[in-house]
Amino acid sequence: MKKKRLNVLFLATFCLFSALPAFGWDDVGHKITAFIAWQQMTPDVRERVIAILRAASEDSQLATFYLPYGNRSDGPEKREFFMTAASWPDIVRDRTFDIRYKKYSHSNWHYSDTFWTVKDGKVVLINPPEDGGLALEKIIEFIKLESSTAKDADKAIAIAWLEHLIGDIHQPLHASARITDLEPKGDQGANLFLVTPKDTPRDKQENLHSFWDGVIIKTMPNTKDACDADYIDPIARKIIKKYPFAKLEGRLALNDPEQWKRESFEIASTKVFPPDLKRFEQPSPAYKKAALKIAEERLAFAGYRIAAIFNQLFAAAPVKP
């Protein structure tokens, strides 16, 4: 994610679509990915992951999102805790909590841009004119950390970041910085590509990046103001049905996170900017339909990859005879 001036409280973020850089997938997108991952994780891995997340350092406030009380069984509570952890790297961007923000917020971890342009109708890669983000490097780093002897407090933060960054890198515009005459240093993942009229007040502007981040809630809005279990879970289940694990399993490339980034970049450079997409105009209904289809598959891929990696990293050690 490419937000440099975020001053918005977390609970309002997924309803905001402005010209400011937006979350890589919004809260809804990240929770959908985490829900999909949870369904594929084995019971013992779920328990191990939850135990580690609860060991997070107090100043991160990550463990406070687990509420082991109330009138429900602990299964839904654990699942929702896991889903919230996927959004924690966005939650800590709230500058209201100064200590947490300074220690845990890292704006350039949320994306891993490939710089490119179009010449003679062909996509041409460009040497990065500026920072392209560290999402890919951090994914690889955190996977290694989880397989190390690091403290559970450190592994907890790494789990939340892995949930989040694996989701982020599947959002096509988190792997893309398009260079044009108007954006010679890159378009910041289409944050500079406005899809609202030129005279739109700043607080009501929308850019293409935020459109893609929030494509789920844009096309399937939470009109009844339902809780996550009533709004997000059914959407996630429909995506699982549409893109079952068996259908995507052979393409997971678990040992090659760079492949995940290449997939996103391929989409960004070939499908995100069709000729009929115009600056200062809303994407067409056909574009929105195509974007939703792409987003659903990318969310499924991200969820299955998270689950498969966690199942490898946190499976119980075999009992010695």
Per-residue pLDDT of the chain (321 residues; tens, 9 = 90+): 444 333 333 333 333 333 334 456 799 999 999 999 999 999 999 999 999 999 999 999 999 999 877 667 788 999 999 999 999 999 999 999 999 999 999 999 999 999 999 999 999 999 998 889 999 999 999 999 999 999 999 999 999 999 999 999 999 999 999 999 999 999 999 999 999 999 999 999 999 999 999 999 999 999 999 999 999 999 999 999 999 999 999 999 999 999 999 999 999 999 999 999 999 999 999 999 999 999 999 999 999 999 999 999 999 754 444
pLDDT of amino acid 15: 33
pLDDT of amino acid 11: 30
Question: Would you say 159 and 66 are in contact if contact means Cβ atoms under 8 Å apart?
Answer: no
pLDDT of amino acid 4: 36
Q: State phi, psi for 156 to the nearest 5 degrees.
A: -60, -45
Residue in the structure block whose two tokens are 């005879």: 321
Statement: 10-314 belongs to CATH 3.40.50.300: no
pLDDT of amino acid 317: 57
Question: Would you say 195 and 207 are in contact if contact means Cβ atoms under 8 Å apart?
Answer: yes
Q: How far apart are CA 108 and CA 129, in angstroms?
A: 15
Q: How far apart are CA 173 and CA 294, in angstroms?
A: 12
Report strand pairing: 176-178 vs 114-119: parallel
For the chain, what are the domain ranges?
Answer: 10-314
Q: How far apart are CA 295 and CA 28, in angstroms?
A: 12
- Give me the half-sphere count of Cα atoms (radius 13 Å) on the Cβ side of residue 235: 27
DSSP 273: S
Question: Would you say 171 and 264 are in contact if contact means Cβ atoms under 8 Å apart?
Answer: yes
